[in-house]
Structure 1
């Protein structure tokens, strides 16, 4: 029986392949961590909504040439984490991303 981590990695690869994004690296743990912040800071359904919007923003930034894929994803997840914490009234963390 596969572990949860193995299942998520396999699912991530299958989904990336379906979207023809096989060369894109996804930090599954970071995506899940941001989803967790949103779920616990706002409400549980905020987790998929937050990660979807962050992914969409990363795709727009990367597709427009504003940044490479890795930086776009890192920046989008940093902004999502920061906004979720701000929304909940938590002190902002240093994400290492300017403007985040």
Structure 2
């Protein structure tokens, strides 16, 4: 069940990260999920380092750090991904 929750959280974090970035990020959904998972882990680490990982109520700062970390990762990976010739190919 933990892997399923990681994938769901990665999907949500990755999609929210893509929303806060300007323009279009033509990376596939699987890469968005992977970067969302990594961003979530990095955001948790930053929240722990800043002492805001667990607060009363919703952990807004932790979630913002997770989305921010994922947004940075997506903005770094998108040019690398699209620059290597990974474009949409239509098969007939």
Q: TM-score range by the shorter chain?
A: 0.3 to 0.5
What TM-score results when the alignment is normalised by the length of structure 1?
A: 0.42
Q: Which has the higher contact order (CA 8 A, sep 6+)?
A: 2
Higher helix fraction: Structure 1 or Structure 2? 2
